[in-house]
Structure 1
Amino acid sequence: MASATVDFGIGRILSVLENETLLLSGVHGEIDKMKKELLIMKSFLEDTHKHGGNGSTTTTTQLFQTFVANTRDLAYQIEDILDEFGYHIHGYRSCAKIWRAFHFPRYMWARHSIAQKLGMVNVMIQSISDSMKRYYHSENYQAALLPPIDDGDAKWVNNISESSLFFSENSLVGIDAPKGKLIGRLLSPEPQRIVVAVVGMGGSGKTTLSANIFKSQSVRRHFESYAWVTISKSYVIEDVFRTMIKEFYKEADTQIPAELYSLGYRELVEKLVEYLQSKRYIVVLDDVWTTGLWREISIALPDGIYGSRVMMTTRDMNVASFPYGIGSTKHEIELLKEDEAWVLFSNKAFPASLEQCRTQNLEPIARKLVERCQGLPLAIASLGSMMSTKKFESEWKKVYSTLNWELNNNHELKIVRSIMFLSFNDLPYPLKRCFLYCSLFPVNYRMKRKRLIRMWMAQRFVEPIRGVKAEEVADSYLNELVYRNMLQVILWNPFGRPKAFKMHDVIWEIALSVSKLERFCDVYNDDSDGDDAAETMENYGSRHLCIQKEMTPDSIRATNLHSLLVCSSAKHKMELLPSLNLLRALDLEDSSISKLPDCLVTMFNLKYLNLSKTQVKELPKNFHKLVNLETLNTKHSKIEELPLGMWKLKKLRYLITFRRNEGHDSNWNYVLGTRVVPKIWQLKDLQVMDCFNAEDELIKNLGCMTQLTRISLVMVRREHGRDLCDSLNKIKRIRFLSLTSIDEEEPLEIDDLIATASIEKLFLAGKLERVPSWFNTLQNLTYLGLRGSQLQENAILSIQTLPRLVWLSFYNAYMGPRLRFAQGFQNLKILEIVQMKHLTEVVIEDGAMFELQKLYVRACRGLEYVPRGIENLINLQELHLIHVSNQLVERIRGEGSVDRSRVKHIPAIKHYFRTDNGSFYVSLSS
């Protein structure tokens, strides 16, 4: 791994040097020398990586590790020097011209100091380069530095994979259901060749499951020819064909052709096609890394009429989802449930008898160890085998408290470590650093998509692609990490997009150990000894730090941090901040911090500031000095007003100030906006503006911010209508639009809005005197929320044909007695009907809302029976009845009730109600 962060660092430095050459006037000679040597180092690292010296397996030599460590430290040092110079350049240029002469001597001194530092760095670079060249010219260089690709861990893992063919079925846990499902697919009557892909994270049991199926009697009886092929990550297609031929001939008890190893690609393909042409065969391709394999191998596997099957295992969802042909499918491996995990662990840890566990009081700590494995079979089995030799509770507790060390050092857990590293090493360089950055968050932490993306952008991890927004590139990184099973999606939004992620415990432990080794990320938590942690941070200079416990000013003495993340509700003193001038991301979300020090404004490099859910009440007066700031998030903090001068933050892209009104006594003013500061419309790069008070000057000038994609305004007045529409019509990229009137009787005048094609989510809170004529033009709309619209006409006719609408929320939106859903809403999954005071009947015609999964009916007291036609909603999974009439509830409560037959197909029916003793809910499901 070592070369990943180093290669990135060098690449970014070279880019900066190219862009800043003119600024570094007077140090051209040092710059030119540095660029030449850094280019050589970068090429060397890339070449070494291709040959297998990747720094994270046992094959990597001490020579390589030392070289990379030295190069990494230099790359970090150069990066800090350039950041420091940028700080001085900006300070000088931002001065009024009348003051520049006064500051010129200090500027010249800073430039001289930078030149001296660069000169010292060049000496160190030359020393490393000379050492590299010395070894390069030695005859032992290749043997010492570039071991063969398949030596060591990768080949050992392949051997372990093939050993799955010999596992006893009695030792396997949790495979019965998926085994039956997959065998059914393999033995299905379709005559064409079908590919069945089994996908899951490393160590999830893909190979074990597939091997058990491959050996099963039903499969053996059904197929005539069989071959099991383990695919090396750096496979040679001719070797794959030879292995396949040997497997087929061996299974058929036939003599392997003597000329096999002399045959070339074409002859091997011909021999396979000739042998398989008239046979029903099954081939298992174990551990496939790319779709390129199928493109090369499919030509040798005849697609006949005999019902042949190809089964493959992979860690990559991209491989599993490839279009292999009609009937082909994928199966995602599920991790073991708690009881299954315990059985597997017990079988390994207590092979003689589970009684040993109980008599020696080991079960509580044993279950904690199992919990840390989070259902990952390989980790559970390996840990269980290791613990089988430990008889005393003290030994078990020691392993639990040092699990990170055990994973990285204990030989009995080597297979877990190696399999995880194979997945990690396969990541492209940009994804490696983004993945390691995720280890900064605490174990099992819910990492939100937008938060991660913005932090990656602040650290310049996102590679620029011409014509593609950085946010889109970062989003593709996240998707790729999910597809490769390096991150797990734990929360999806209703529109099918991942919203939050977590890292599996075992992967997190290994990622954090690599991050610490690389001086990339570190954590300060309950496992950290104060003095040791301080020494580690000061001496080894990790770039990114997460604080997970209370700290004191002397606890951490790092000056070169690029990220500081506080994930603790303990009290923190901000005396640490004055020393963090190189900080790029400061994330204090949900911490107890209530006041920011004035020194915050000296953090010239700060690009990301998250104060969400803190007790902070105001920002420093000179906040506008943070000219590189891209993200400011004060959501749910105590900040009511932004400081003057915000318009000077020209790089600001995300301004999130949404707050809930905790003390509101009505259903209207539950959201508070932030007061607008002068000239804020001069922020031309701003993309997100959420949420601000609708003041006259802002409404008139909103159209100046043409890059806005998300707009949320509250306290909108009727007289804003024409100016508001004129401004919004100038912004062509709006995807989210939220408008809330000043009170529930104030109409929203938005009939003149025409630039609606890009809108995906629309929330309107305020009286509508008529249904806007442009509603039916919202072809990209996925969410529509109408609150307090009080429409006299039914809006359904205007929106029922919208092709992408997924979520529809009516909150006191219609004053009529009857809601009728005719044929339409073909993609609607969530429907909310709330506070319809005059509503007495809801009708759902056959064919309408066919995909509906969740239906909420709330505070509609006049509704005395469930929607007519609800029995047609065969995909409905949840029905929530909240503060509805007793008559409605009684008509569906229990078997034999009047309307019970109409809702019996709904798996979850919940009734929410209030009494003098509080709020409650009961299940009405059968």
Structure 2
Amino acid sequence: MAETAVGLAVDQLIPMLTQEASLLRGIHSQVGDIKDEFQSIRCFLRDADRKAESESDHTRRDGVKAWVEQLREVAFQIEDVIDEYMFHLGHLHDHGCFFYFIRKITRSIIKLKARHDIASEIQDMKTNVREIKERSSRYGFDSLHDQQEGNIKPTWHDPRKASIFMKEDQVVGIESDRDKLVGWLVDKSSPQRTVVSVVGMGGLGKTTLAKQVYDRVVTQFDCHAWITVSESYDKKELLRTLMENFRINMETNIPARNRGVNEEIQLITMIREYLKDKRYVVIFDDVWKIEFWSDIEHALLDNNKGGRIVITTRSLDVANFCKTSSYVHVHMLQPLPSEKAWQLFCKRAFHFEFGGSCPPELENYSGKIVERCKGLPLAIVAIAGLLSTKEKTVDEWRKLHDNLSLELESNPHLTSISRILALSYYDLPYYLKNCYLYFGMYPEDYSIKCSRLIRQWVSEGFITSNREKTLKEIAQEYLIELINRSLVQVSEVNRFGKPKACGIHDLLREMILRKMEDLRFGSHYFPSDGSSFSELTRRLTIRSRSLIHISNKKYCHVRGMLIFTRNLTDLCETTFCATFKLLKVLDFGGAPDLKHLPEDIGALFHLKYLSVAYTMVKELPSSIRKLQNLETLNLKGSWVREVKSRQISRLHKLRHLVFSEGAGLRLFKGFGCLVLQKLYDVKIRDDIEELKKLTQLRKLGITGLRTAHEWSVVCDCINGMRHLQSLRVFTLEYVDLNSISAPPEFLQSLLLNMELRKLPEWIIKLQNLAKFEIRGSRLEDDPLEVFQNLPNLVVLIMACGSYDGEKLHFKHGMFQKLKHLELNNLDKLNSLVIEEGALPTLEHLSICFCDNLKTVPGGIRHLRNLKRLTLSIWLNDSVKPEGEDYHIVRHVPQLQFIDDLI
């Protein structure tokens, strides 16, 4: 339970030792000793939480929890000492040059006092850490360290075993999934070995589905096997189990006296020999590690007889790893739709009463309980099973609904739900545990923007640096790993098909909230429901209209604060900044009525992330210039229209400055000293030369270009931005794009909103370009001949009269990777031809307000991967969306959405 806290403490101590050695003379070695002690203790902590949960001896379990609690508190103390020390030193840098001499003397005095204070505190902590480590042997950590990871066997009842023995009439909502998998397994047109991976979060019914499929196909194969793998397995034991399922006599083939170092190879050889002429099917249930496929792939040889392997797993990476040497079908199992969830609930709760139907008086609370389960069969079955033992009264149903969170934690019938879901959390490395716990900071059912979450992770210090990649890139990989582990659900994707917004299942959130409280990771503060939090809590989510209640010195340890409330009391009336001086993340994105920030916000020396996105804040306080550690300033959707030079010119660590589209930011003298990576949308004015200095930019948006000279300077700037990945240019004037002689080679997204008759020659050099959007250009020549030379193009948008021609012809072979195509407001377009073999991967086609295009293009029938079609072309009463047009659309069976924007 302390692994995350200790990990962060060690991560903070290492840079302190390397960067602050001159400031810590006399205690440098003591800090190093604590770091070494913590690193040696960390090896015990990976399974400490799991050991405490699975321990049947309550005395030992409480002892483990107490030990971990003590260690976590010391880790918190170290974090506090470091941040306090840096806070005092940092404030000495914030005075003007007029008092330079006095400041120098004062700094020396404070350094001496701070060094003395920190030396005393570190000596105490050093003693505490050693004492805690010595107590570890009392709770079996020495033996725990010698065990293989995951070998701690649970002593609680695992309800998943029951799914193996379920009858077909007991199962609800998997019919289409079952039939699809059966089709893949019995398909004899594909003789090569095939792996079918069923992927989904814990409790989603993967084992149930696999068993129903297995029972249907088993008679069509020469031999078969069902093996539960779980988190921990021995490779040789796995092969032996496989032989037992195939009824291969091990003693006959490998006498005990001949078994030795080559036993694994002998086992694999025997299985291969047995299978060489057989059509087999093998189910591997509950696979956790990607290495699993390497352990069994050689035994299950590809004999061209139609061998089939089914793997159920929580990890998409496990499924994808099989692709290294086998054909793979990946089936992402989804939660039950609402009507199927209701059907399953009624079948289990009223199986022996009311004919399996819910009585009218219980429908209200039954519906609410089913909604809380969010289509998770494990939860529906467990809760419905518990209710089946209760009196069928509204009062009983209401009590369970109102206390469901507590029941999940304490009721013996339901605790297995949380434990099964928590297995995925325990399996995370410590650096991902912090990131995952952060989802609990957001309200229930909240769709979290991925960019927002990633920047908060970076600012909190959760991301481990890497020379090869930026912290943001590493954080994006962390998020993808959590998604692939079925712990995070993608709620919105961008036009590239990449995650744009995400969230977590309600029951996973319940588990996270309990972990947050246990670990002092974070708390939700909402006084109206009687909520409270520990003084050691590191993060707060505020659901109160006023912050006055928490402006108390005892809560000074808070590092992150997310605020979700309307009618927030004016912060200027509180002691907010004085109380939370160690804040690193401050997000007002959920407080739309906020009008002012505290005047003394500059006192938040450690602040790295500040967001007033979508608030009513109009102006930033002048003290914001003191936030020398600020990395992200998000003003998107706020009423801020201008940032003054003196406010941000000294923010040398600022990386992300995000404005509202159209608001604009004027460059100023000294702006170029910032190390920005993202700058949207800057208005070019007198200090355009400052733009040249921003060579580290990854994303740039420019608006308001007025003269050819300004454009020429901008082109010179772009030529020098070697890291640029996204460029947006807005101007009403005609400009010569050929002034850009060396476009950034890593450019992935380009938006041109300008007067343009011809495309520049350098466009075809953008071999990494994935998204191209062009507006208002009035191109005279067919641009498709140029665009088809961009091999990685995924999104193409032509809008606002960007093409003056009457015909667009997508020829065979064009745009092999394009997934998203928009043709909007092309008022002269009257013919759209799509040949068979063009746009083979297109998923979304939008044709809107092209007034001269009167019919649905017949070539749409060739788009076999089309999932969404948006049309607004039936503007003439004589042309209706029926007849031949309707017939064309019907030829796209996989189409999921048809939007008619009439």
Q: TM-score, normalised by structure 1?
A: 0.88
Alignment of 1:183-222 (within 5 A): 183-189=182-188, 190-214=190-214, 216=215, 218-222=216-220
Q: Match of 1:362?
A: 362
Query: How far 1:706 moved relative to its partner?
Result: 0.9
Give the distance between the partners of 2:431 and 2:445, measured in 1 at CA: 23
Q: Judging changes above 3 Å, is the alpha-carbon distance between structure 1 residues 795 and 186 closer, same or farther for their aligned structure 2 residues?
A: closer
Q: Judging changes above 3 Å, is the alpha-carbon distance between structure 1 residues 38 and 53 closer, same or farther for their aligned structure 2 residues?
A: farther
Alignment of 1:191-590 (within 5 A): 191-214=191-214, 216=215, 218-249=216-247, 259=256, 264-322=263-321, 323=323, 325-354=325-354, 358-359=358-359, 361-391=361-391, 392-525=393-526, 528-529=529-530, 532-533=531-532, 536-537=533-534, 539=535, 541-555=536-550, 557=552, 558-574=555-571, 575=574, 576-590=576-590
Q: Match of 1:728?
A: 718
Q: Judging changes above 3 Å, is the alpha-carbon distance between structure 1 residues 678 and 56 closer, same or farther for their aligned structure 2 residues?
A: farther
Query: How far 1:131 moved relative to its partner?
Result: 4.7
Query: How far 1:437 moved relative to its partner?
Result: 0.9
Q: Match of 2:653?
A: 651
**What do residues 91-150 of structure 1 show as CA deviations (whole Å, max 9, x unaligned)?**
2244456535434346624642563355245325414522532553x6977579999976
- The structure 2 residue matched to 1:770, chosen from 733, 740, 758, is 758
Contact 2:37–2:129 under 8 Å retained in 1: no
Q: Match of 1:710?
A: 699
Q: Match of 2:3?
A: 4
Give the distance between the partners of 1:330 and 1:832, measured in 2 at CA: 30
Q: Match of 2:627?
A: 626
Instruction: Count how many residue pairs are aligned between Structure 1 and Structure 2.
Output: 879
Give the distance between the partners of 1:848 and 1:478, measured in 2 at CA: 34
Q: Verify: 1:760 aligned to 2:738, yes or no.
A: no
Contact 1:444–1:505 under 8 Å retained in 2: yes
Q: Match of 1:916?
A: none
Alignment of 1:816-827 (within 5 A): 816-823=804-811, 824-827=814-817
Query: How far 1:88 moved relative to its partner?
Result: 1.6
Give the distance between the partners of 2:251 and 2:75, measured in 1 at CA: 59
Q: TM-score, normalised by structure 2?
A: 0.91
Give the distance between the partners of 1:830 and 1:453, measured in 2 at CA: 26
Q: Match of 2:18?
A: 19
Q: Judging changes above 3 Å, is the alpha-carbon distance between structure 1 residues 439 and 135 closer, same or farther for their aligned structure 2 residues?
A: closer
Give the distance between the partners of 2:233 and 2:723, measured in 1 at CA: 46
Q: Judging changes above 3 Å, is the alpha-carbon distance between structure 1 residues 239 and 522 closer, same or farther for their aligned structure 2 residues?
A: same
Equivalent position SS for 1:437? helix
Which 5+ residue runs of structure 1 have no aligned equivalent? 660-670, 914-926
Give the distance between the partners of 1:853 and 1:555, measured in 2 at CA: 50
Q: Match of 1:681?
A: 672
Contact 2:523–2:537 under 8 Å retained in 1: yes
Further displaced range: 197-206 or 103-112: 103-112
Query: How far 1:195 moved relative to its partner?
Result: 2.1
Q: Structure 1: which amino acid aligns with 2:348?
A: K
**What do residues 10-41 of structure 1 show as CA deviations (whole Å, max 9, x unaligned)?**
32232133134424335x23x43343244223
Q: Structure 2: which amino acid aligns with 1:87?
A: F
Q: Match of 1:668?
A: none
Query: How far 1:78 moved relative to its partner?
Result: 1.6
Give the distance between the partners of 1:179 and 1:256, measured in 2 at CA: 38
Q: Verify: 1:894 aligned to 2:882, yes or no.
A: yes
Q: Match of 1:65?
A: 65
Query: How far 1:844 moved relative to its partner?
Result: 4.1
Q: Structure 1: which amino acid aligns with 2:755?
A: K
- The structure 1 residue matched to 2:847, chosen from 828, 839, 857, is 857
Q: Structure 1: which amino acid aligns with 2:769?
A: L
Query: How far 1:784 moved relative to its partner?
Result: 2.0
- The structure 2 residue matched to 1:36, chosen from 29, 33, 38, is 33
**What do residues 233-279 of structure 1 show as CA deviations (whole Å, max 9, x unaligned)?**
221112222333333339x9999999599774344334434444444
Give the distance between the partners of 1:149 and 1:801, measured in 2 at CA: 51
- The structure 2 residue matched to 1:45, chosen from 42, 47, 55, is 42
Equivalent position SS for 1:648? coil
Contact 2:774–2:802 under 8 Å retained in 1: no
Equivalent position SS for 1:766? strand
Equivalent position SS for 2:589? coil
Contact 2:822–2:847 under 8 Å retained in 1: yes
Contact 1:226–1:248 under 8 Å retained in 2: yes
Query: How far 1:58 moved relative to its partner?
Result: 4.1
Q: Match of 1:738?
A: 728
Q: Match of 1:922?
A: none
**What do residues 637-678 of structure 1 show as CA deviations (whole Å, max 9, x unaligned)?**
10011132312111111111123xxxxxxxxxxx33123333
Contact 1:53–1:147 under 8 Å retained in 2: no
Give the distance between the partners of 1:442 and 1:360, measured in 2 at CA: 32
Query: How far 1:892 moved relative to its partner?
Result: 3.9
**What do residues 774-794 of structure 1 show as CA deviations (whole Å, max 9, x unaligned)?**
222222222222222133444
Alignment of 1:744-893 (within 5 A): 746-756=733-743, 757-814=745-802, 816-823=804-811, 824-867=814-857, 869-882=859-872, 886-887=875-876, 890-893=878-881
Contact 1:614–1:636 under 8 Å retained in 2: yes
Q: Verify: 1:175 aligned to 2:174, yes or no.
A: yes
Give the distance between the partners of 2:99 and 2:383, measured in 1 at CA: 67
Give the distance between the partners of 1:848 and 1:305, measured in 2 at CA: 34
Identity %: 29
Further displaced range: 314-323 or 53-62: 53-62
Give the distance between the partners of 1:393 and 1:610, measured in 2 at CA: 45
Contact 2:271–2:300 under 8 Å retained in 1: yes
Query: How far 1:821 moved relative to its partner?
Result: 2.1
Q: Structure 1: which amino acid aligns with 2:891?
A: H
**What do residues 375-404 of structure 1 show as CA deviations (whole Å, max 9, x unaligned)?**
111111111112222323233223222222
Further displaced range: 583-592 or 628-637: 583-592
Which 5+ residue runs of structure 2 have no aligned equivalent? none
Root-mean-square deviation (CA, aligned residues, Å) is 3.1
Q: Judging changes above 3 Å, is the alpha-carbon distance between structure 1 residues 256 and 206 closer, same or farther for their aligned structure 2 residues?
A: farther
Query: How far 1:772 moved relative to its partner?
Result: 1.8
